[in-house]
Chain A
Amino acid sequence: MRPTRGHLAWLITALTLWALLPPAAHAAWEPTKPIELVIPAGTGGGADQMARLIAGIAEKHKLSPRPIIVVNKAGGAGAEGFLYVKGKKGDAHTIIITLSNLFTTPLHTGVPFSWKDLTPITRMALDQFILWVNAETPYKTAKEYLAAVKEKGGTMKMAGTGSAQEDQIITILLEQSQGVKFIYVPFKGGGEVCVNLVGNHVDSTVNNPIECVSHWKAGRVRPLAVFDTARIPDADWKDIPTIKEAIGADINYLMLRGIFGTPDMPKEAVEWYQGFLKKVYDSPEFKEYLSRGALKPSWLTGSDYVSWLQGAEQLHKDLMTKGGLLKK
């Protein structure tokens, strides 16, 4: 095809499409090309799993007229993914799944973006955090364990995912409320963290339930407390006390698993994604996934979601200021 002719054909088609547009605009918006679902984290992690599950459910139940393409952009603690979506202003075919790095990455690294740059679509779930120790240790309760930490005077090792992210925030909160000191050892992923606990290379972790559940069932690790105001209702988990019950401290932290669109995403598109994601959310597969990983089902959209996000951002700012994790 010679460029001039191609250009002409393109022009003609564009004009034809434009002529056809007005009636189409009245109908509900639908994706007209493959949807790109960006993951601001590496392959195999929690956000990655959920994103691929969403793509899988959409494929299985034919929920979207166009396929969903999952793309990992993990660079700079997720900054790469966020900046990529931020740069696609008005694009109706790009969405992003977020985790807590939506708040922590800009605060810690100073990378210029905020959740306000993106269009909130929906909150899918909230992930719990649990304090784990190796099952061979004598600590049966969080109280016993923290007493031991205090006694050992800052030589006990707490492992977590990444630096200046949720795991370290929780560790610092625990330190400040109990007047103890941990050696915080950052690892690359949650699975690795739990295995280092099983191998006795560290003394405790603050893993998400799904990262440690199998080792727990195999009798290798022991959950001591949930960092939430209420116990996890699922049968397997309901015997684990909340941190308040265990040590009387209010250290509550939940991690966002939400979906955002590009800046200024058209309203019709946002509505379509909400409908689509609701169908995913209501599917038995998604429900099963949540219950197995002890994630909190937390569907939330619209202005409620926005005000929740505002609260969450403020919370991270406060926590990270307290922990001295803000960018200097």
Chain B
Amino acid sequence: MRAANLITAAILAAAGVLVVVDAVRLGTGWGTDGPQSGFFPFWLAVLLIGCCLAIAAQAVRLTLPVPFVTRKALGPVLAVLGPAAGFVVLTQAIGLYVASALYMGFYMRWIGRHSWAAIVAVAIGFPVATFFVFEKWFLVPMPKGPLETWLGY
């Protein structure tokens, strides 16, 4: 827990520093017509950095001796996060419809251990339904890849 608290505080403080840098570029003063562009980001970030220091101090002084995440619990979390990240990468490469079919098929087989019939029904049915709802019906384009190009979309 302590390490996680310290790391999070450090990351947030670093983000705060970035904000301060850009805010200084924009001007942090209070002109005749009110605050300049950088005024609010600057003070927000300064406060943020201050809070992060306080949190770090707290974390060092008093932290429950429980780990942030147990090794046993980390597995399932990564089992969701990993495929989800893979899904996003695939979406970028080959479009959302094909990517979601592959993702769902993979996940349902690997984690859910569903029957192949169920897998095929959902993994094909969902993207097809989505395609009709969004692409045809609502005219909202989703990211597309070679398959859709081939189909003329």
Contact = CB atoms under 8 A, between A and B. Distances in A.
Contacts of A67: 139
Nearest to A11: B150
Contacts of A13: 150
Interface size band for A: 10 to 19
Interface string B42-72: 0000000000000000000000000000000
A34 B153 contact: yes
A34 B147 contact: no
- Interface hub of B139, B147, B153 (most chain A Cβ within 10 A): B139
A6 interface: yes
Nearest to A67: B139
Contacts of B140: 69
Contacts of A36: 141
A284 B12 CA distance: 57
A67 B140 CA distance: 11
Nearest to B146: A10
Interface in B113-153: 135, 139-141, 146-147, 150, 152-153
A34 B152 CA distance: 9
Given A69-B139, A71-B141, A183-B33, A32 B150 contact: no
Main secondary structure of the interface of A (DSSP, over half): mixed
Interface string A53-83: 0000000000000010111000000000000
A36 B147 CA distance: 19
B134 to A, nearest CB: 10
A34 B150 contact: no
Contacts of A14: 150
Contacts, number: 21
Contacts of A238: none
Contacts of B152: 32-33
A122 to B, nearest CB: 23
A183 B33 CA distance: 9
Interface string A107-147: 00000000000000000000000000000000000000000
Contacts of B135: 34
Nearest to B37: A163
Nearest to B136: A67
Contacts of A33: 152-153
Nearest to A36: B141
B28 to A, nearest CB: 16
Interface in A170-206: 183
A182 to B, nearest CB: 12
A183 B34 CA distance: 12
Contact of A69 (B141, B146, B147, B150): B141
Contact of A6 (B139, B147, B153): B147
A183 B146 CA distance: 54
Contacts of B146: 10
7 contacts: A14-B150, A32-B152, A34-B135, A34-B139, A34-B141, A67-B139, A70-B139
Interface of B: 33, 135, 139-141, 146-147, 150, 152-153
Given A10-B150, A33-B152, A36-B141, 15 more contacts: A6-B147, A10-B147, A13-B150, A32-B152, A33-B153, A34-B135, A34-B139, A34-B141, A34-B153, A67-B139, A69-B140, A69-B141, A70-B139, A71-B141, A183-B33
What 7 A-B pairs come out closest when comparing CB atoms? Answer: A69-B139, A33-B153, A10-B150, A33-B152, A69-B141, A67-B139, A32-B152
